[in-house]
Amino acid sequence: MRFSAVFILATLCAVLGLSVAYLKVSRLSVPLDPTAEATVWDVEARIAFEGRGQPAKVALTLPDTPPGFALLDEDFVSRSYGLAIRGSENGIPRQAVWTVRRAAGAQALYYHIKVYPKREEATQDPGPAPTFPEVPEYAEPLRSAIEAVLKKAREESADIVTFTSLLVANINESDDENVKLIRKSATEDGWARMLTEVLAGARIPSRIVYGLPLEQDFVDTPLTAWLEVHDGERWHGFNPQTGQDGYPTNFLIWSYDDPKITVTKGVRNIEVGFSGNKTPMPQLSVAKRVESKLDTGLLALSLNDLPVRTQNVYRVLLMVPLGAFVIVLMRGVVGVPTFGTFMPVLVALAFRETKLAAGIALFLIVVSAGLAIRVALTRLRLLLMPRLASVLVIVIGLMLGVSLLSAKLGIEQGLSIALFPMVILTMTIERMSIVWEERGPGTAIKEFAGSLFVAICGYYAMTEPHLVYLMSTFPELLLVVLSLCLCFGAYTGYRLSEILRFRDLAKR
Amino acid sequence: MFFDTWLKLRNAGILGLNARNREYIMRHNPRRRYPLVDDKLTTKRLAIEAGIAVPQLYAVFQTEHDLTKLAERLAPYSEFVIKPAHGSGGSGVLVIDGRRKDLVVKPDGRGLTLDEVEFHVSNILSGIYSLGGVPDDAMVEYRVRVDPIFDPVSYQGVPDIRLLVYRGVPTMAMVRLPTRQSDGKANLHQGAVGVGIEIATGRTTHGVWQNRSVADHPDFGVSLSNLEIPNWPRLLELGARCYELTGLGYLGVDIVIDRTHGPLLLELNARPGLAIQIANGRGLRGRLEAIDRLDAIPDTPLERVQLACELFRVH
């Protein structure tokens, strides 16, 4: 019964920790590998025009939470222009408005964004369902042509999606007289507009979206028009040239319905061209920007909200449970004897600062020197507390001595001995000298070697860069460590050392 | 190979430390009862109240101030043992065998001045031998005289008998014999020999030394098997009664056999070690589970001893 309670708790902790981490990976694109790079698109709109030597005003429609993309960054190159950003309101999309008292000659303004194509399926905001359009008053003979074409498509299709698909393909390709008539009614750049008119004849809500397919780098390209049809639940995209449903890959939607994305006053010959190119960017910084744009509750768990100093403290603290877990394994499963329970973790923490080789050398120097002095103190028959205090004083003296000596010799590692936990060193020396006297040098050295071995293992666990990254980026993994500790708390199997100890019994 | 040994040990019912801690000690030994066995003075008082024989207590030193009366209080005795009330594993035990002029003499013949004895007691008081270094009491008690049966197999010191009592039923037993290496101490960690004893008969089987099986005493070369422990049924009953005394379900009982006073309770242990399995050449688990399978465990120590003799009769 106790068994199952432990495992239920352990499972709960593990599931909780892992699912929060999974959400962070999948929703916020936080990478599991710190070196992972994401592809980010730099897209630039260039607005070129000529001033007429009078006050000028240029308004540009800006993309606003384009579906399937995270907008990481935007900036404006405005020169001497005043800039105002208007949020979307009353059906008017978000706009940048540049104004200047006097503009003359060729002018150029730039609008620059960084977008990150999200891995998941484009989740568009369904918004309120559009109302069904009224059947337009077509002029004859267009009216009968459209009716005939609609009738044909209706007969051959099953639902709105296939209907639209067929209809658009038909209008594009058929040699039918009716279709020719319809085609003729469309102006060159009003092709998509004509399609929406025809669709309105079947009372199907449709709209045109203007955007950029982000596939290959491009320079000075206009926006691509795409047809969208609402099937009562959500919008579906259609290629206005083929009727194929779907969107181009990575279709960055810039504006809806209106082909004119600029509104101007006092300028002429306005031209808008778009350029874009792929740039690699560390996935982690992408994730951080995605975080700051979104406002999810998950991010309350991010270390980045803390002051940098505190962050660094936690980066170390979050590794301590891993060190403790190494001890759990070493003592409970392997059966390595150690002095004290957590002494190896603290020594491993000190190794973190001193680096391993220097740390082990310093540790050995201080403990063996301290031990020698401690043995000398035994002869003086000091009482326990004063003796411990004396050993502590001597340990600190030794540390200072080593630091001074290495400063003289120019060995930088020697200075870091100051980071050793001196009380732990003192207790280690005391424990070791007692074990030495009671059970002989063999046992004392064995336990000392065991402690050092566990400390080294702990050091490797606590400094492994990938683990450090994982723990500081996903602090919720603490729950997983907790779960593992709970599991091993219920481990009743043999320790590996016991197999050695009892091996004679196995022979019988 | 390792895994093979693992399986063999499991099949033999060898109890490991993890299983002992979690399945027996944590389940049957309530923490609040630990002080009863951790403090030997308390154990002794309880035992005396319950009429269990213990080595006579001569004196207790609790403060440094008490030490001024040390010589005076030790004066009536020429043989005695000084030990810390919270010591473990025989550490801090000082055995005095006699007096020579102003000196007291250890069993190996070395003389100590009273000042040296005083320093030892002072060390005990400061907590050097107690777990966690907390201040301790020093007790002086009757020096047990070894029953002659053990003379051929013990190097100085006093052999003691470890009885594992599970839920009041004596479950496994061994005798620990001092060796030269253990410096006369009956402590397996320090090099004493452990010899298994059959519960039903009180006869020794074979030994364990330094975690390895041995047939003969490492110092004297005499066979360790087929020694008959005197007063065995009384000793078993004494062990079984310690269950009522402490309420600990998984209990190590250490008993010495005095030449004149017979079995005396020396100390109790709430976390008895597992070497007893090696000494007996068999795992504990089978026996513990046999006791757990019983519908009821008798209330009186005597009945439990009978039960143990029936359950653990070796054919």
Task: Provide the mean pLDDT of chain B.
Answer: 89
Cβ-based neighbour number of residue A389 at 10 Å = 12
> Helices A142-156 and A160-173 sit at what angle, rounded to 10 degrees?
130
pLDDT value at position B240? 94
Least confident of A145-149, A262-266, A303-307, B134-138: A303-307
Contact B92, B128 (CB under 8 A): yes
Summarised one tens digit per residue, pLDDT across range A175-229 is 777 777 777 777 666 777 788 878 888 888 888 888 888 888 888 888 888 888 8
pLDDT value at position B123? 86
Contact B290, B311 (CB under 8 A): yes
- Give the position of tokens 């009862």: B33
Rounded distance, CA B197 to CA B185, Å? 19
Chain B neighbors of A490, CB-CB under 8 A: 22
Indicate yes or no: CB of A492 within 8 angstroms of CB of B22.
yes
Least confident of A380-384, B129-133, B146-150, B281-285: B129-133
**Chain A residue with Cα closest to B275:** A502
Here the tokens at position B192 are 């004493």
The answer to whether A380 contacts chain B (CB < 8 Å) is no
Is the pLDDT reported for residue B142 higher than 90? yes
pLDDT value at position B315? 52
Instruction: Give percent of chain A above pLDDT 90.
Output: 11
Which letter does DSSP use for residue A138 in this model? P
Task: Provide the mean pLDDT of chain A.
Answer: 83
pLDDT value at position A385? 80
pLDDT band at A25 (very low <50, low <70, confident <90, very high): confident
Here the tokens at position A20 are 């929060």
**Chain B residue with Cα closest to A492:** B19
Min Cα–Cα distance to chain B from A360, Å: 27
Min Cα–Cα distance to chain A from B32, Å: 20
More confident residue, A437 or A349: A349
Which helix (H) or strand (E) element contains residue B253? strand B250-258
Contact A374, A391 (CB under 8 A): yes
Check the CA dihedral B179-B180-B185-B189 and report its sign.
negative
pLDDT band at A453 (very low <50, low <70, confident <90, very high): very high
Rounded distance, CA A289 to CA A282, Å? 11
Chain B neighbors of A332, CB-CB under 8 A: 18
ipTM over cut 0.85: no
Indicate yes or no: CB of A492 within 8 angstroms of CB of B278.
no
pTM: 0.70
* Most distant CA atoms of chain B, gap in Å: 63
Chain A neighbors of B10, CB-CB under 8 A: 494
Here the tokens at position B72 are 């005076």
Indicate yes or no: CB of B18 within 8 angstroms of CB of A505.
no
Which helix (H) or strand (E) element contains residue B22? none
Q: What is the three-class DSSP state of A181?
A: helix
Summarised one tens digit per residue, pLDDT across range A82-126 is 888 888 777 778 888 888 888 888 888 889 888 888 765 555 555
The answer to whether A335 contacts chain B (CB < 8 Å) is yes
Tell me the helix, strand and coil percentages in chain B, rounded to 5. Answer: 35, 25, 40
Indicate yes or no: CB of A494 within 8 angstroms of CB of B281.
no
pLDDT band at A334 (very low <50, low <70, confident <90, very high): very high
**Chain B residue with Cα closest to A381:** B119
Least confident of A326-335, B206-215, B289-298: B206-215
Chain B neighbors of A383, CB-CB under 8 A: 122-123, 126
Q: Which domains does chain B have, with CATH numbers?
A: 2-51+146-311 (3.30.470.20), 57-141 (3.30.1490)
The answer to whether A379 contacts chain B (CB < 8 Å) is no
Torsion angles phi and psi, residue B115, rounded to 5? -60, -40
Min Cα–Cα distance to chain A from B10, Å: 9
Residues with Cβ within 8 Å of residue B147, at least 6 apart in sequence: B230, B257, B258, B259
- Cis before residue A141, ω within 30 degrees of 0? yes
Q: How far from A196 is each of A178, A259, A294, A465, B283, CA to CA, in Å?
A: 17, 14, 34, 57, 87
CB nearest to A506's CB, from B8, B23, B190: B8
Contact A44, A63 (CB under 8 A): no
Tell me which amino acid residue A455 is: A
- Give the position of tokens 């729950």: A479
Contact A56, A267 (CB under 8 A): yes
Summarised one tens digit per residue, pLDDT across range A28-64 is 777 887 777 788 888 988 888 888 888 888 888 888 7
Cβ-based neighbour number of residue A33 at 10 Å = 11
Residue count of chain B: 315
Indicate yes or no: CB of B5 within 8 angstroms of CB of A499.
yes
Is the pLDDT reported for residue B28 higher than 90? yes
Min Cα–Cα distance to chain B from A31, Å: 39
Report angle CA A81, A85, A87 to the nearest 5 degrees: 165
Is the pLDDT reported for residue A292 higher than 80? no
The neighbouring-strand residues paired with B192 are: none
Which helix (H) or strand (E) element contains residue A264? strand A262-265
pLDDT value at position B268? 92
Rounded distance, CA A163 to CA A148, Å? 14
Where residue A244 falls (left for φ over 0; alpha for ψ -120 to 50; beta otherwise) is: beta
Q: How many angstroms from the chain centroid is the CA of residue A225?
A: 32
Rounded distance, CA A70 to CA A284, Å? 14
- Give the position of tokens 């998941």: A120
Report angle CA B91, B95, B100 to the nearest 5 degrees: 145
pLDDT band at B109 (very low <50, low <70, confident <90, very high): confident
> Which of A172, A176, A223 lies closest to A198, judged by CA?
A172
pLDDT value at position A444? 86
**Chain B residue with Cα closest to A442:** B190
Is the pLDDT reported for residue B238 higher than 70? yes
Rounded distance, CA A315 to CA A311, Å? 6
Q: Residue B68, class by beta-carbon neighbours within 10 Å (0-12 exposed, 13-18 middle, 19+ buried)?
A: exposed
Rounded distance, CA B70 to CA B115, Å? 10
Q: Which of residues 403-442 of A touch B (CB under 8 A)?
A: 434, 438-439
Here the tokens at position A465 are 């860069």
The answer to whether A1 contacts chain B (CB < 8 Å) is no
Is the pLDDT reported for residue A1 higher than 50? no
pLDDT band at B198 (very low <50, low <70, confident <90, very high): very high
Mutation test of the interface with chain A: which of B1, B4, B5, B113, choosing the one with the most A Cβ atoms within 10 A?
Answer: B5
Rounded distance, CA A15 to CA A28, Å? 19
Residue ranges of chain B whose CB lies within 8 Å of a chain A CB:
2, 5-6, 8-10, 12, 14, 16-19, 22-23, 89, 91, 119, 122-123, 126-128, 133, 189-190, 211-213, 277-278, 281-283
| Spatial strand order in the sheet of B138-141 | B57-61, B138-141, B80-84, B94-96
Indicate yes or no: CB of A494 within 8 angstroms of CB of B18.
yes
Summarised one tens digit per residue, pLDDT across range B73-99 is 998 998 999 999 987 767 788 889 888
**Chain B residue with Cα closest to A498:** B16
More confident residue, B314 or B180: B180
Long-range contacts formed by B100-108: CB under 8 A, 24+ apart: B104/B74, B104/B78, B107/B156, B107/B157, B107/B184, B108/B156, B108/B184
Summarised one tens digit per residue, pLDDT across range A351-389 is 888 888 888 888 898 889 888 888 888 778 777 788 888
Which helix (H) or strand (E) element contains residue A342? none
pLDDT band at A152 (very low <50, low <70, confident <90, very high): confident
State how beta strands B169-177 and A224-230 pair.
Answer: unpaired
